């Protein structure tokens, strides 16, 4: 990566660690709160603990990074030689992370361009990766921001959840939307649109919902070159099977990532989550 432009994101991007290291991308962690215990996202322990707590119906909340944590991160990046920073974060409709970054950017020792991507998970990760690649090729902060915003515009995210109850309790969907998935015990499919998570379709059974999710993704991918990420929480077999089918049915597939979501997203979706991000190249 260009030593002049640094790429910062947050822990909900879920980029593979090796990819972040290769491109010099750094992430500011969000936190989850289990009772009186605060866990930093980004560790296997935090994800496992959240899944177990949700299965036992224990309360789980999430917390944005403190602006001072961002300020410390920006100072460290500047000290490493960066003369400009692009800071890319999950949708401001879902978290106060973007606002915390904006506050910290005002006091940063180098110019910081903070971007609300309107994305989450690898939908955010692909934006950060594109920004890093632009910087590596000599692009400016503005060039990297424009490339990330273009990538976001060509990215879609779809989700299957066993229940909408966790999203409702976390305030990520309203009570009326939660009824969408409770009537007649249907299984909800959701989408990320306008920075918010909302209902897409309702299907009678889990197997039919996942099959429909696959159809939606294949149709969205079309014949052009795309990157795809398959996310899950406590459902590795389900995610691996879907990924195998997408390899066969998406002709323009370039990169395919399969990973478990971290604690923050998991806290709002619950165990059984299956999510797919489709991002046009």
- Alpha-carbon distance of 191 to 173, in angstroms, equals 12
Q: Give per-residue pLDDT as tens, 86-135.
A: 999 999 999 999 999 999 999 999 999 999 999 999 999 999 999 999 99
CA distances from 43 to 11, 21, 130, 131, 260 (A): 10, 16, 25, 25, 11
Bridge partners (DSSP) listed for residue 274: 160, 232
Alpha-carbon gap, residue 105 to 113, rounded angstroms:
8
Residue 268 pLDDT: 78
Number of H helices, E strands in the chain: 11, 13
**Rounded CA gap, 140 and 85, in Å?**
10
Predicted TM-score of the model (pTM):
0.90
Question: Distance between CA 127 and CA 125 in Å, rounded?
Answer: 5
Sequence-distant (≥ 6) Cβ neighbours of residue 153 within 8 angstroms: none
Helices 141-153 and 122-136, packing angle to 10 deg: 140
Can you tell me the distance from the alpha carbon of 62 to that of 33, in angstroms, rounded to the nearest whole number? 6
Q: Would you state the pLDDT for residue 181? A: 46
pLDDT < 50 stretches in the chain: 1-2, 172, 175-176, 178-181, 183-184
Query: Rounded CA gap, 189 and 187, in Å?
Result: 7
> Strands of 37-40's sheet, edge to edge?
37-40, 31-34, 60-63
Sign (positive or negative) of CA dihedral 35, 39, 45, 48: positive
What's the confidence (pLDDT) of residue 43?
63
CA distance 193 to 152: 11
Question: What is the C-alpha separation between 130 and 173, in angstroms, rounded?
Answer: 30
Map out the domains of the chain with their CATH numbers: 5-30+65-149 (3.40.50.10170), 155-280 (3.30.1180.10)
The pLDDT of residue 176 is 42
Q: How many residues make up the chain in this entry?
A: 281
């Amino acid at each position: 990566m260009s030593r002049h432009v640094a790429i910062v994101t947050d822990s909900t991007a879920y980029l593979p660690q090796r990819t972040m290291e290769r491109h010099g991308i750094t992430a500011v962690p969000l936190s989850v709160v289990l009772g009186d215990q605060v866990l930093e996202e980004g560790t296997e322990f935090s994800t496992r603990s959240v899944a177990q707590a949700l299965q036992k119906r224990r309360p789980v909340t999430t917390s944005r990074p403190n602006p001072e944590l961002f300020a410390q991160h920006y100072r460290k990046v500047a000290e490493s030689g960066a003369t400009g920073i692009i800071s890319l974060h999950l949708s401001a409709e879902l978290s106060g992370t973007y606002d915390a970054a904006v506050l910290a950017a005002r006091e940063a020792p180098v110019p910081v361009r903070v971007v609300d991507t309107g994305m989450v998970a690898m939908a955010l990760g692909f934006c950060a990766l594109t920004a890093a690649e632009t910087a590596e090729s000599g692009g400016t902060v503005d060039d990297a921001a424009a490339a990330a915003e273009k990538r976001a515009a060509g990215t879609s995210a779809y989700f299957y959840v066993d229940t909408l109850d966790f999203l409702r309790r976390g305030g990520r969907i309203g009570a009326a939307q939660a009824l969408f998935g409770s009537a007649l015990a249907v299984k909800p499919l959701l989408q990320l649109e306008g920075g918010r998570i909302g209902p897409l379709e309702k299907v009678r059974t889990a197997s039919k919902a996942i099959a429909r999710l696959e159809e939606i993704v294949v149709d969205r991918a079309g014949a052009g070159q795309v990157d795809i990420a398959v996310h899950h929480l406590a459902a590795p077999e389900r995610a691996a099977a879907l990924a195998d089918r997408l390899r066969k049915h998406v002709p323009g597939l370039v990169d395919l990532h399969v990973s478990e979501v971290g604690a923050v997203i998991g806290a709002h979706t619950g165990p059984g989550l299956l999510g797919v991000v489709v991002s046009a190249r």
